[in-house]
Amino acid sequence: MANADRYYIGANDEHGQEPPTEGKRTPVMPYVGRSFYENEFNRPAKYYFLAGAVVCGFNVYDVKPETGDLSVAARVARINRRRLDVLVTFAYNAEGNGENFNSVSGFEVFFSRENGRVSASRLLAYDLSAGLAEKLGAENLGAKNLGVGTLSGVGVLGSVNCPSALCECGFMTNFQEAKLMLDPDYQRLCAEGALAGVCNTFAVPLVSVADYENLPVLRRSSRGKAVQLAQIYFNLDGAELDPDGVFGPETLAETLGFQRQNSLEADGIIGRETWRTLLRKGAPPVLREGSRGTFVRYLQQKLLSKLYPAGGVDGIFGPKTRAAVEAFQTENSLVVDGVVGRATWEKLTPIGGGRPLP
């Protein structure tokens, strides 16, 4: 087996959220009264992938830490300065005019014949496809594998100086797959599939779980992969850090804010309890109106992915989140108390399901 530290892995998320890239969205989703935007899937999937790559020991590069969009030319320039060993881009597909749902579904991986490393790009694409198939296929979600295809005129595939492939993890215009876009567990599953493919490309062992109890204590001026891991998880929790592996003032501010919101000791030091909460390890706690923190964000994402309007994904359990919980409990034969305990979590955490298309 090869040493992962020999390789430099880049990840890119297509489009942006602030503001949302025009047209890159689902039809208006029923019950919640808004579209889901493509980057609401792409960005967290990228970060789950990068987090997994760090745990495996790879050196990683985040092409676009900004939440807004960035021109293809600017992305390509950033990528080519880094001399990456591979680039993986996360995206979501669409079929038709984008205004209505249809039956086209499945995941597909693309590479470009315009890439100067076309043979390596093709092999990467097939490895990514196999990894996604293992995670999303019949034994899990039964997602349709559309295989590997080619695209031309796509800069992050054809104009970069490293092997490159793009994962289209579903269709925004398929109702069931559109709902999955906001499910953090589906985002993670897609990332795990892509990471399995990259590990196969480089013959590197796949390490699937970060052991928070053995992660180092981090504080101001710490450096290295563990700092990158923390920065990536802060970004999953809504931050906009450059995951450069340097624990500077911005990372310190995010640490303090995260600790305060999660009722942890606000000392700016990432120790065992901050790691455990940041990585969302262990059984989710009982949540109720007034609760705050990363598990509330997770709750809000799960509710939205099942089309219960929980308000914004802000980590604050307010009246809208309570109303969404009560609606979910009513429709799933649970005790309707607005409290998210074991029985509600058991119904809520599976990937998929949720309200039907009216």
Architecture of the domain spanning 294-348: Orthogonal Bundle (1.10)
Q: Which two tokens stand for residue 123?
A: 């092999």
Question: What pLDDT shows up at residue 97?
Answer: 84
Q: Which two tokens stand for residue 34?
A: 């808004």
Q: Does position 346 have pLDDT exceeding 90, yes or no?
A: yes
DSSP state of 267: S
Question: What pLDDT shows up at residue 98?
Answer: 82
How far apart CA 106 and CA 93 sit, in angstroms, is: 9
The domain 4-202 is placed in CATH, from the list 3.40.640.10, 3.90.440.10, 3.40.50.1100, 3.40.630.40, at: 3.40.630.40
Question: What pLDDT shows up at residue 218?
Answer: 98
Q: Torsions phi, psi of 223, nearest 5? A: -140, 160
Q: Does position 157 have pLDDT exceeding 90, yes or no?
A: yes
How far apart CA 254 and CA 268 sit, in angstroms, is: 9
Question: What pLDDT shows up at residue 209?
Answer: 72
Question: Could you tell me which of 239, 63, 243, 53 has the C-alpha nearest to residue 131?
Answer: 53
The pTM is what?
0.97
Q: Which two tokens stand for residue 312?
A: 């914004």
User: Tens digits of per-residue pLDDT, 19-69?
Assistant: 889 889 999 999 999 999 999 999 999 999 999 999 999 999 999 999 999
Question: Could you tell me which of 156, 109, 112, 151 has the C-alpha nearest to residue 130?
Answer: 109
Q: Is the peptide bond before 285 cis (omega within 30 degrees of 0)?
A: no
Q: How is the chain split into domains, by residue range? A: 4-202, 213-278, 294-348
Same fold, 213-278 and 294-348: yes
Specify the higher pLDDT residue, 283 or 208: 283
Looking at residues 247-259, what average pLDDT do you find?
98
Q: Does position 252 have pLDDT exceeding 80, yes or no?
A: yes
Question: What pLDDT shows up at residue 18?
Answer: 82
Architecture of the domain spanning 213-278: Orthogonal Bundle (1.10)
How far apart CA 254 and CA 262 sit, in angstroms, is: 12
Q: Does position 103 have pLDDT exceeding 90, yes or no?
A: yes
Looking at residues 73-89, what average pLDDT do you find?
97
Q: Does position 266 have pLDDT exceeding 70, yes or no?
A: yes
Q: Does position 139 have pLDDT exceeding 70, yes or no?
A: no
Task: Look at residue 48 and give its three-state secondary structure.
Answer: helix
Question: What pLDDT shows up at residue 212?
Answer: 77
Question: What pLDDT shows up at residue 90?
Answer: 98
Strands 86-93 and 8-13: parallel
Question: Could you tell me which of 78, 194, 81 has the C-alpha nearest to residue 136?
Answer: 194
